[in-house]
Structure 1
Amino acid sequence: MDKFPIIETKRLILREVTKDDAEDMFTYLSEPDVVKHMGLEPYRTVKDVFGEIEWYESIVREGSGMRWGITLKESGKVIGSCGFLNRSPKHYRAEVGFELSKAYWGKGIAAEALEAVMKFGFRHLELERIEALIEPANLPSQKLVEKTGFMKEGLLRHYEYTCGKFDDLYMYSILKEDI
């Protein structure tokens, strides 16, 4: 892909984020409730967000992922992100991740973005399997992926080490044939 793909849904435009979006992104990446299940400490400055944006750019460059900024059509404001990481083209799979500003929780926006990103992955990245790794305490994300058709496969014990502790993660997946 030469150009970063733009995905449009009923209410959203999913697009590449730039440093110009850092202030919008800081709004949600500095919220403890948003980042507590992401293995991150809340960001302290807008400048900290530049590292997140650079990570988004690096995974596209490496071919290991792609992260879209979730923007509202009406304002163009970035209110979250959704996309793929740990992509394995050889095995036709990738992990999906997402976060959304707390002000927009409960409005179906995360589901709308997730479904659009999944469709893109199955159609354009030729994925066969999309995985979601979710902390057991993150019930809203579990409900979201289950509602979107993911199946819980099991618990990965002490799967990640973040913020000075080992985290258990539930493994969820959806296959191309499931949608």
Structure 2
Amino acid sequence: MVGVNAFPILRTDRLILRQVTKEDASSLLNYLSNEDVMKHIGLEPFKSIDDALDEISWYQSIFEKKTGIRWGITLKDQGEVIGSCGFLNLVSKHYRSEVGIELSEEHWGKGIASEALEAVIKYGFEQMNLQRIEALIEPPNLPSQKLVERQGFIREGLLRSYEFTVGKFDDLYMYSLLKQDFNIKQ
């Protein structure tokens, strides 16, 4: 990520996307302990504050190593983290990264995920100079498929037994969005 030293804050109409800190651990535990939220993420539901602190450490490490960046999603009028969105598996040499998002169940169906994802995608193309953003989504996860399709992502194919998570092999759909496709959408 060229030129990224201080953690960037993203603002939308309703949201502030900011760095997640240790003080946010109980908020993360609140939604990452929910089985429905975790169903398609490839992790067991969190059981303790230590699980949340480990997740926050991972967010910090990918930012420091420049292999990704993960924002906490907050509503403008509240400070509590209600989800996260960002890039992982950044390959600077090839100008590509994966994007991921999860949101507290109580905020599903309100357009928050779409608003956050759009801001993150825009940042990826405009500030990180990405050419390609990928989303890997389990076939049963229809809401996430619809979410990325609304942003203009194209389903490229099925990656069979692509990941081994929570004791099983998972197939994943590969979606991509190219910079020129996003610019057309704008």
- Which residue, 103, 117, 134 being the options, matches 1:100? 103
Q: How many residues align?
A: 179
Summarize deviations over 1:106-131 as a string: whole Å, max 9, x none: 00000000000000000010000000
Determine the structure 1 residue equivalent to 2:59: 56
> Quick one: which of 156, 171, 175 aligns to 1:172?
175
Partner of 1:162: 165
Residue 20 (structure 1) aligns with: 23
Where does 1:56-75 land on structure 2 (aligned, <5 Å)? 56-75=59-78
Equivalent position of 2:130 in the other structure: 127
* Bigger mean CA offset, 46-55 vs 80-89: 46-55
* Distance (whole Å) between structure 2 residues aligned to residue 65 and residue 2 of structure 1: 13
What's the counterpart of residue 44 of structure 2? 41
Give 3-state SS (helix, strand or coil) of 2:177's partner: strand
Q: Structure 1-normalised TM-score?
A: 0.99
Q: SS of the counterpart of 1:168?
A: strand
Partner secondary structure for residue 146 of structure 2: helix
Q: 2:94 aligned to 91, 96, 100, which one? A: 91
Listed one character per residue, the Cα deviations across residues 71-102 of structure 1 (whole Å, up to 9, x for unaligned) are 11111110000000000000000000000000
Range moving further from structure 2, 96-105 or 41-50? 41-50
Q: Aligned-pair distance for 1:47?
A: 2.2
2:24 paired with 1:31: no
Q: Give per-residue Cα distances to partners, 1:7-49, cap 9 Å, x unaligned.
A: 0000000000000001111111000000110101000112210
TM-score of the superposition, structure 2-length normalised?
Answer: 0.95
C-alpha separation between the residues in 1 aligned to 2:32 and 2:169?
A: 22
**Identical amino acids, percent of aligned pairs:** 65
Aligned equivalents of 2:90, 2:46: Cα separation in 1: 26
- CA-based RMSD: 0.5
Q: Report the equivalent of 2:117.
A: 114
